[in-house]
Structure 1
């Protein structure tokens, strides 16, 4: 792991670990904000319509995913998980479009945009293969290799069949010559 990744991952993960711990300890703070969204989304997603439980679950994913991401464990998967926790947190926590007070609206918009920036960093982390080939590339190489092997095998089989045919003809001619 490069020095940049070793330093940047914990920096990016810190917000999730701290925010997740806060959600785990004090879910009642966020539950009223989440209640309208939970009412709409919970049945469709087959989740319980319990805002406090959903806040705690989000917090647990933030803490676990943040800790794993900070340590460099499963960074691509954990970055996607963290991005998934950031979406509802941003939507519920920073609805600047609902604010009437211009100062409060500006503050919420700044926090919203900050979270969008963090989301961008997580999306970059989700596609970062650390210089190693990704799964899609490895599958592509394996497919090409299998295709080349199959082509070579078919060609060798054709050559072997032709050689066997020639040998059979020679054997038939020599048998015919031996009888006559």
Structure 2
């Protein structure tokens, strides 16, 4: 029940923020320029508005998926990836000289850091079900147990067959004498 309530609450900020990035990319592109200059070094396009809109799409899509409980782990990971550049671009409190603006930016930065923590928790939440890695390990162990059991039973069957063959041979020998 908690997941059903908490996921939409966590996702709401991303859906609203992503829609804003889609509708008004200009102002955000200007603020994001220093971060986008770094992104250009890794081969991303040099179109700030396009990148802001792409980030907005990731936020709206990931937020909608998280809110509805569809692939919440993937959605949380996508949102975490979208939140990092948004936070660095929108709230660089370390660059502010005005103490009041610096304090406001720091609060917003820490708010986003808290959201990132929530997303990381959602990304590793298996919803009460064992993780894929655990299930794979369990299947591997089960296959190993099955192989050991099969080998042991084959050994017992071979031993019983040899015993039966000796018994039949002895019976045939006794019938001849």
Normalising by structure 1, we get a TM-score of 0.89
Task: Give 3-state SS (helix, strand or coil) of 1:124's partner.
Answer: helix
Gaps of 5+ in 1: none
Are positions 1:98 and 2:95 aligned together? yes
| Correspondence for 1:39 among 31, 37, 40 | 37
Cα offsets for 1:58-89 (capped at 9, x unmatched):
00010011111111111111011111111000
| Correspondence for 2:5 among 4, 7, 10 | 7
| Correspondence for 1:58 among 55, 59, 73 | 55
Are positions 1:146 and 2:150 aligned together? no
Q: Give the Cα–Cα distance (whole angstroms) in 2 for the partners of residues 99 and 39 of structure 1.
A: 20
Are positions 1:165 and 2:166 aligned together? no
Partners of 2:7 and 2:67 within 8 A in 1? yes
Shift, 1:29, TM fit? 1.0
Partners of 2:34 and 2:89 within 8 A in 1? no
Partners of 2:76 and 2:123 within 8 A in 1? yes
What is the aligned partner in structure 2 of residue 30 from structure 1?
Answer: 28
What is the aligned partner in structure 1 of residue 121 from structure 2?
Answer: 124
Gaps of 5+ in 2: none
Q: Give the Cα–Cα distance (whole angstroms) in 2 for the partners of residues 31 and 138 of structure 1.
A: 44
Normalising by structure 2, we get a TM-score of 0.91
What is the aligned partner in structure 1 of residue 69 from structure 2?
Answer: 72
Task: Give 3-state SS (helix, strand or coil) of 1:118's partner.
Answer: helix
Task: Give 3-state SS (helix, strand or coil) of 1:168's partner.
Answer: helix
Q: Which runs of 4+ in 1 moved over 6 A?
A: none
Q: 1:177/1:62 Cα in 2 relative to 1: closer, same or farther (>3 Å)?
A: same
What is the aligned partner in structure 2 of residue 49 from structure 1?
Answer: 46
Q: Give the Cα–Cα distance (whole angstroms) in 2 for the partners of residues 39 and 174 of structure 1.
A: 92
